[in-house]
Amino acid sequence: MLEKMKRWTSLKEPESLSQRINECKNYEIPDHIAIIMDGNGRWANKRALPRVAGHHEGMKTVKPVTRLANELGVKVLTLYAFSTENWVRPKMEVEFLMKLPEEFLGTFLPELIEENVQVQMMGDREQVPAHTLRAVDQAMEKTAHNDGLVLNFALNYGSRSEILQAVKSFSSDVKEGKVSPDELTDDLFGSYMMTPHLGDPDLLIRTSGEIRLSNFMLWQLAYTEFWFTDVLWPDFKEEHLIEAIEGFQKRSRRYGGLKSEDLT
Ligand code: V07
């Protein structure tokens, strides 16, 4: 009997994407997914194309991933678009990257508005070129009243710098007598970070086979499930997002519905 059942399972038709999407919805969907979109340069290298061709292809991948996250009822999708460390890249590459928000929003903003998505940005606005900020600000304004998926772009973002800024800002509140160091808790400190209103990510995805955090949301990822895949970001499709969420759901079911924090 067991042999027969084994055969049934192995003979099972591979599920279609829409079946997997529907099945996924029967289980816990992560409220907040964060993605380190790595492997764009490698994707281009493999095809003897310039690195910027990989970045451009990677930008195209953001659209179907956003659509699917929205359809699944994900509340926040945080995407690492540009890190504080990326400035050392060749000037031409940085300039190309800083034009991507405009190009992305130029074609996609109407759909984001239509689909009730709210655009946000986290990161240090200081060094970001004015033309880039103009496009991002306009998108944030035009989607400010949307209450669907929050599409949060980490742009000129670095986690240590975010933590330092939080420490400085807390110290200055102490100095002004607004708060005492005795009151400092996990939650209070978190409120000095850039995105306390978004909640911590439930699932972090990093593409392209690198197994590190690269200065991304160090404080907020304390309890997050990690999903690493060898797939390069421009090759990351709906099925890969579903795969990551299925992995997340398997883990959370293993805890019998309890959050991992409750089990320590
Ligand atoms: C960038 C494409 C995705 C792969 C990672 C590197 C290159 C979308 C944006 C973006 C940012 C803000 C915004 C709207 C879109 C973006 C940069 C790079 C700098 F409001 N993709 N993408 N920004 N890449």
CA-nearest residue for atom 12, ligand 1, is 101
Angle at which helices 51-72 and 17-24 pack, to 10 degrees? Answer: 50
- How far is the centre of ligand 1, averaged over its atoms, from the C-alpha of 148 (Å)? 20
The span from the first CA to the last CA of the chain, in angstroms, equals 39
**Coil, helix or strand at residue 58:** helix
Q: Tell which atom from ligand 1 comes closest to the C-alpha of 155.
A: 19
- CA angle, 174 as apex, 173 and 176 as ends, to 5°? 65
Mutation choice for ligand 1 from 125, 153, 207, 231, CB with most ligand atoms inside 8 A: 153
Pairing of strands 203-206, 76-83: unpaired
- How far is the centre of ligand 1, averaged over its atoms, from the C-alpha of 121 (Å)? 11
- Looking at the DSSP bridge assignments, the partners of residue 122 are 154
Within 13 A of 199's CA, how many CA atoms are on the CB side?
13
The mean-pLDDT minimum among 2-6, 101-105, 132-136, 250-254 falls in: 2-6
C-alpha to C-alpha distance for 261 and 50, rounded to whole angstroms: 45
**How sure is the predictor about 8, in pLDDT bands with cuts at 50, 70 and 90?**
low
What percent of the chain is modeled with pLDDT above 90? Answer: 89
**How sure is the predictor about 3, in pLDDT bands with cuts at 50, 70 and 90?**
low
- How far is the centre of ligand 1, averaged over its atoms, from the C-alpha of 101 (Å)? 5
Q: What is the mean pLDDT of the chain?
A: 94
CB atoms within 10 A of CB 128: 17
Q: Tell which atom from ligand 1 comes closest to the C-alpha of 121.
A: 20
Residues near ligand 1 (Cβ within 6 A): 37, 40, 55, 58-59, 62, 81-82, 97, 100-101, 104-105, 119, 121, 136, 139, 153, 155, 233
C-alpha to C-alpha distance for 143 and 153, rounded to whole angstroms: 14
Residues with active-site annotation:
38, 86
What's residue 179's pLDDT? 98
pLDDT in tens, 206-225: 999 999 999 999 999 999 99
